[in-house]
C-alpha cells in the first residue's frame, strides 16, 4: 500500500505542517514533508519571491522513523565525542597536573577543574576547604601561584607555538563557607564586646592576668585560665603578661573553645634568652 501524499500551503512551514497533520489525521510529529519546489519558481524556472510555504506531506513510515533514530544516535555520538575532545585539553590538563602536584606538596587538599576561553586563556577552578591558604593575605599567595603557573607552562614545549594566559579562581566548599560565616559573626560579637568594655573592665582583666602570673611564678608551673574570653580580652591578657618576666602565654583550642595557658619559664630559659 502506497503512502498517501498531500499538498498543503501556509504562511509558515509550521502552519503548513499543522494543516497536513489535520488532513492526514495524525499527530504533528508523525508528518514528514518535502518542499514543493515548483511553488518557488516562475514560468522560466527561476526563483521567485513568495508569501507562502507549500509542501508535499505524508505520514512517516516505520523505515523512515528507524532511519531518523539511527541518524539521531549517530549525531548525538559525534556531539559526545566532540564534547570529550573539547573537555580534554592537553595544555589545560598539564597545567592542572602541575598545580595539583604543587598543592599536594603543600598538603592542601584540592579538586581542580578548568575552562578554556578563546583558545589562549585557561581558567583553573580550585575547590578546597583550605582556600584561605591558597589565597593568602590580600590575595598575595594566589598571585604567586598564578605567576609560577604562567612561568612554568609558557616554558613548556606544549606552549611553544604561542603564549597562554593562565588564571586561578578559588572556590570555597560549603563547610568552609559555614566556618567563614561563623568567624564573621564571632568577629562582630568580639567587636561589640570591645565597644562595651570600659576602663574598669579592662583593668579587671589585667589584674586577673597579673594575679595568675604571680601564682605561676610562686608554684613554678603553668596555669590554664578557666574563664572564656573573646579575642579582644585575650589580647589584653597576652599584652599584660609580656610585661612580666618569667611567664609566657599561649592560646589553644579546648574542644572548640579558645583558652589561655600561662607558661612558667625556668631561670635557665630566661638566661638563654637574655644571652641570645
pLDDT tens string for the chain (276 positions)? 457 899 999 988 889 999 999 999 999 889 998 988 888 888 887 777 778 889 999 999 888 888 888 888 887 766 555 555 455 788 889 999 999 998 988 888 999 998 888 778 999 999 988 888 888 887 888 888 899 899 888 888 888 888 889 999 987 554 455 555 566 665 655 555 555 667 888 999 999 999 999 999 999 888 999 888 888 899 999 999 988 888 998 888 887 788 899 998 865 444 444 444
Based on the number of CB atoms within 10 Å of its own CB, is 170 exposed (0-12), middle (13-18) or buried (19 or more)? buried
DSSP 77-116: HHHHHHHHHHHS-HHHHHHHHHHHHHHHHTT---EEEEEE
Cα–Cα separations (whole angstroms), residue 228 to 125, 193, 234, 237, 260: 40, 13, 9, 12, 9
What is the Cα–Cα distance from 170 to 24, expressed in whole angstroms? Answer: 59
What predicted TM-score, i.e. pTM, was given to this entire model?
Answer: 0.36
Q: Domains in the chain, please, with CATH?
A: 5-78 (no CATH), 90-172 (3.30.300.20), 198-275 (3.30.1370.50)
Residue 113 C-alpha cell reads as 577543574
Amino acid at each position: 500500500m502506497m503512502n498517501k501524499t498531500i499538498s498543503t500551503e501556509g504562511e509558515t512551514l509550521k502552519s503548513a505542517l499543522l494543516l497536513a497533520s489535520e488532513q492526514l489525521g495524525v499527530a504533528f510529529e508523525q508528518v514528514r514533508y518535502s518542499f514543493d519546489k515548483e511553488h518557488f519558481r516562475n514560468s522560466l524556472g527561476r526563483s521567485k519571491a513568495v508569501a507562502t510555504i507549500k509542501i508535499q506531506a505524508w505520514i512517516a513510515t516505520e523505515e523512515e522513523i528507524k532511519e531518523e533514530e539511527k541518524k539521531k544516535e549517530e549525531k548525538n555520538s559525534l556531539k559526545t565525542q566532540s564534547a570529550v575532545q573539547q573537555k580534554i585539553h592537553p595544555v589545560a590538563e598539564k597545567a592542572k597536573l602541575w598545580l595539583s602536584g604543587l598543592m599536594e606538596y603543600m598538603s592542601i587538599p584540592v579538586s581542580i577543574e578548568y575552562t578554556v576561553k578563546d583558545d589562549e586563556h585557561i581558567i583553573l577552578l580550585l575547590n578546597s576547604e583550605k582556600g584561605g591558604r591558597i589565597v593568602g593575605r590580600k590575595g598575595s599567595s594566589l598571585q604567586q601561584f598564578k605567576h609560577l603557573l604562567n612561568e612554568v607552562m609558557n616554558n613548556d614545549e606544549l606552549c611553544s607555538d604561542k603564549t597562554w594566559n593562565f588564571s586561578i579562581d578559588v572556590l570555597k566548599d560549603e563547610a568552609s563557607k559555614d566556618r567563614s560565616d561563623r568567624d564573621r559573626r564571632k568577629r562582630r560579637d568580639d567587636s561589640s564586646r570591645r565597644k562595651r568594655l570600659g576602663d574598669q573592665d579592662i583593668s579587671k582583666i589585667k589584674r586577673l592576668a597579673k594575679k595568675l602570673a604571680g601564682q605561676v611564678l610562686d608554684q613554678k608551673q603553668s596555669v590554664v585560665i578557666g574563664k572564656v574570653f573573646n579575642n579582644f580580652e585575650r589580647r589584653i591578657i597576652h599584652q599584660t603578661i609580656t610585661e612580666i618576666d618569667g611567664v609566657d602565654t599561649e592560646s589553644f583550642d579546648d574542644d572548640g573553645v579558645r583558652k589561655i595557658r600561662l607558661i612558667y619559664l625556668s631561670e635557665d630559659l630566661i638566661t638563654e634568652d637574655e644571652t641570645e
